[in-house]
Amino acid sequence: MTVKDGKRWSTSDAYLHPALKMRSNLSVTTGALVTRVLFDRTRAVAVEYLKDGQLCEAHAQREIILSGGAINSPQTLMLSGIGDADHLRSVGIDAWHHLPGVGQNLQDHLEPVTLYKAQWKFPHVMIGIGLKWILFRQGWGATSHLETGGFARSEASVPHPNIQFHFLPSTIHDHGRKMGSQHAFQVHVGPMRPLSKGQILLASSDPSKAPLIDANYMANEHDRAEMRACIRLSREIFAQPAFAKEYAGVELSPGPEKTSDRDLDAFVRALGDSAYHPSCTCRMGQNPNGRIITEEERKTSGHVGNARVDAAVTKPDCKVWGLDGLRIVDASIMPSVVSGNLNAPIIMMAERASDLILSEHLGRSVMLSPSKVKVWKPKHPEKQRDGEPIVKLSV
């Protein structure tokens, strides 16, 4: 998370609000619902939107940039007649620009939570933490509470860490919408490179209707096996002396009796949470037509969606294939989901897109983002731990 002065610091705080104070040619309309992009032949010329019940248009002199995210950007394209022709016709939309990849290739990070009862109880400390944050915006209350984490390999054959851990020294449910009723701590853990891919579809041609989201989690054995490894590695970590002697009490979730593959699969299906990392639904690539999936691939991958896979929607310059004056800059253009959180990568993508747009319109190279940055390169090679687990767990 990006935090400043004890509060969550968004890209709106960091980029938009300062720009509004300095630029007279920038205006922001809130409480509006985009209904579609308007075109003159293949050129995007305006955005149609609803504001206070009135249908309005915002016209573009140069180009339009969609940043609705992995859900709303493909929805806007489809409402504008851009997408898989068969699907658009099925909801009564004139499919004038067939682009089969729109809304396909949806990827996300799914996270089960391993929860342990805490042996130590410090309710008075929690009161002090809350007061310090309320009065001074400092202390533990000014953090994201997810500041301890790490990456690991699910097994020795994996070439790079494929599992991410987020440790939380408290207990919450449903992303904090429900607080726990006991002293406990938990780890959110999930695979970084799932093979299962879902899709975004239109429920109807009505822009006010939410699209249909099929995340298609755990659709193949590869992803299910990695989920089981996530939970078993979490248990192994909390069984280490550093935790077990003084901190970790009874396992509350999934529960010590849940040991079989079937038990763990059922637990993840019932209680796994999205990490809010939806991406890749307007993927960047070189081939807007993709390729036809084989029947064998469909069976082993748990594929959903149309018959074409790897179909690109955007070019390397973020422009939509086959159209002029329309770009997309958000997580939807990722070819595949990154091995970690999306916040920083999306900020980087937006800064790079700004460079591309300015360079094109000014006719010269522009680099707003730093061209030379420090990169951490560990001197020691990454290596999978040898031998048996330090604490052997029954499976």
The residues annotated with a catalytic role in the active site are: 277
- Euclidean distance between CA atoms 53 and 31, whole angstroms: 11
- Euclidean distance between CA atoms 319 and 322, whole angstroms: 9
Say if CB 96 and CB 81 are below 8 A apart. yes
> Residues of 384-394 as b/e, b for ≥16 C-beta within 10 angstroms?
eeeeeeeeeee
Say if CB 111 and CB 188 are below 8 A apart. yes
- What are the residues whose beta carbons fall under 8 Å from the beta carbon of 338, sequence distance 6 or more? 192, 279, 345
- Euclidean distance between CA atoms 272 and 256, whole angstroms: 17
Is the preceding peptide bond at 254 cis, omega within 30 degrees of 0? Answer: yes
Helical H segments across the chain, by residue range:
11, 17-22, 69-79, 85-90, 123-136, 221-238, 241-244, 261-271, 295-301, 343-362
Tokens of 267: 């637990």
- What are the residues whose beta carbons fall under 8 Å from the beta carbon of 57, sequence distance 6 or more? 38, 46, 47, 48, 49
